[in-house]
């Protein structure tokens, strides 16, 4: 794998015009947004290899881990990480903590949940990003390896996310952070969990998270228009793959035909977002979830929630796992971490 990674990285250093010529010959444009040349090359390399094996959870998980090994970035210098186990009610959940050498003792702990449609992904898929967040913000980060479907269908993973957030809030001092408070963040399904956690704390009449960091979040499974159509073929999250994720994440027909309207599945359907934690919402231009992320940011703002919104037009869904191979993805992760750092400082963290 190290040789393969070396070869891939050498190819990705080629000039943009050469990469585009090797990947279809002309830039990929969707909704007026031009895809980053390296993402175009990766997408072309992955999708043009002929018929693929039937999509199974094993194949999807293996593919995700291979892509992470090929394109993921390293641990940030000055950040230490430690694997640990969270003892939650009736179960144990793997996690990984990140502590920066520049940690601010006033900065709340950030609890982070990885992408993967509730079916794939691991602590490795967000490893580089979590270390970037820790170093840039100056806060400890706790990455949670929640249970995955179909072995553990909804709401198992969500319950792990909620309970691990509550655990982290109550044990924040173990990470050198202020007691009784934590921020929450995640990408894709992790962003879904993070948005739901903020709403769930409100429903339980518990304190809000310090901050919501929502990176290309999935906020509803009912959306079918806009970017869900124009980006339906966008690597790596196509309409077919999204449908496969949901068939595994929500497989039980006994849950009822209106499950998509459950606020613990589609947080965008909440009747009111007033009183929720300040939010940073980040989207990618070549992503079926682009429009729903923007709509959720607009709904938060309309409810007088403080929001920072940014769409990175040239990037694709899942860009946080490509910091080692796509410079634009690395820059974006550092930019969004800097936005979070400013939000922390503005709120006294």
Residues 18 and 98 in one domain: no
- Out of 97, 143, 188, 314, pick the active-site residue: 188
List, in sequence order, the alpha helices (H) in the chain: 2-12, 16-22, 37-47, 57-71, 127-137, 156-170, 189-203, 227-230, 239-249, 290-302, 327-346
- Out of 36, 163, 287, 291, pick the active-site residue: 287
pLDDT tens track for 1-52: 578 888 988 999 999 999 999 999 999 999 999 999 999 999 999 888 666 7
Residues 130 and 92 in one domain: yes
> What's the pLDDT score for residue 113?
99
pLDDT tens track for 33-44: 999 999 999 999
What tokens were used for 166? 């509550």
- Within 13 Å of residue 253, how many CA atoms lie on the same side as its CB? 0
> What's the pLDDT score for residue 54?
84
pLDDT tens track for 323-341: 999 999 999 999 999 999 9
Q: Which residue has the tokens 């002309």?
A: 26
> How many structural domains are present in the chain?
2
**Average model confidence (pLDDT) across the chain:** 96
Residue 141 belongs to domain spanning: 63-346
Q: What is the mean pLDDT of residues 301-330?
A: 98
* pTM for the model: 0.96
Catalytic site includes residue 188: yes
Residues 88 and 233 in one domain: yes
Catalytic site includes residue 272: no
Query: Can the peptide bond before residue 150 be classed as cis, meaning omega within 30 degrees of 0?
Result: yes
Residues 229 and 134 in one domain: yes
Residues 276 and 338 in one domain: yes
Residues 72 and 173 in one domain: yes
| Cα(296)–Cα(150) distance, integer angstroms | 27
Residues 43 and 82 in one domain: no
| Cα(4)–Cα(26) distance, integer angstroms | 26
pLDDT tens track for 97-132: 999 999 999 999 999 999 999 999 999 999 999 999
- Within 13 Å of residue 331, how many CA atoms lie on the same side as its CB? 7
CATH code at position 80: 3.40.50.1820
Residues 169 and 287 in one domain: yes
Q: What share of the chain has pLDDT > 70, as a percent?
A: 97
Catalytic site includes residue 80: no
Residues 43 and 80 in one domain: no
Residues 127 and 213 in one domain: yes
Residues 89 and 36 in one domain: no
What tokens were used for 231? 């980006």
What tokens were used for 215? 């990176």
pLDDT tens track for 242-282: 999 999 999 865 555 677 889 999 999 999 999 999 999 99
pLDDT tens track for 140-193: 999 999 999 999 999 999 999 999 999 999 999 999 999 999 999 999 999 999
With 0-12 / 13-18 / 19 or more C-beta atoms within 10 angstroms meaning exposed / middle / buried, residue 111 is buried
Residues 31 and 168 in one domain: no
């Amino acid at each position: 794998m190290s040789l393969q990674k070396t070869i891939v990285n050498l190819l990705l250093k080629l000039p943009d015009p050469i990469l585009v010529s090797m990947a279809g010959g002309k830039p990929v444009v969707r909704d007026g947004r031009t895809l980053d040349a390296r993402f175009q090359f990766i997408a072309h390399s992955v999708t043009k290899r002929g018929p693929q094996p039937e999509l199974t959870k094993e194949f999807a998980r293996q593919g995700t881990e291979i892509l992470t090994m090929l394109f993921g970035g390293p641990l940030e210098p000055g950040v230490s990480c430690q694997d640990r186990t969270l003892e939650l009610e009736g179960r144990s959940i793997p996690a990984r903590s990140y502590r920066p050498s520049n940690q601010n003792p006033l900065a709340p702990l950030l609890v982070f949940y990885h992408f993967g449609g509730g079916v794939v992904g691991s602590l490795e898929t967000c490893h580089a990003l979590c270390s970037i967040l820790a170093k840039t913000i100056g806060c400890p980060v706790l990455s949670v390896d929640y249970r995955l479907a179909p072995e553990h269908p909804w709401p198992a993973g969500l319950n792990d996310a909620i309970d691990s957030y509550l655990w982290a809030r109550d044990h924040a001092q173990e990470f050198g952070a202020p007691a009784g408070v934590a921020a929450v963040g995640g990408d894709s399904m992790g962003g879904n969990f993070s948005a739901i956690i903020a709403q769930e704390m409100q429903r339980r009449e518990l304190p809000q998270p310090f901050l919501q960091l929502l990176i290309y979040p999935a906020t509803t499974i009912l959306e079918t228009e806009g970017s869900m159509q124009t980006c339906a073929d966008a690597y790596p999250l196509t309409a077919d793959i999204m449908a496969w994720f949901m068939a595994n994440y929500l497989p039980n027909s006994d849950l009822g035909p209106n499950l998509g309207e459950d606020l613990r599945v589609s947080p965008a359907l909440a009747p009111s977002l007033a009183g929720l934690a300040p939010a940073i919402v980040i989207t990618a231009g070549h992503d079926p979830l682009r429009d729903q992320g923007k709509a959720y940011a607009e709904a938060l703002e309309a409810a007088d929630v403080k929001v920072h919104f940014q769409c990175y037009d040239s990037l694709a869904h899942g860009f946080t796992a490509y910091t080692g191979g796509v410079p634009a993805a690395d820059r974006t992760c550092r930019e969004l971490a800097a936005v979070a750092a400013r939000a922390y400082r503005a709120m006294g963290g």
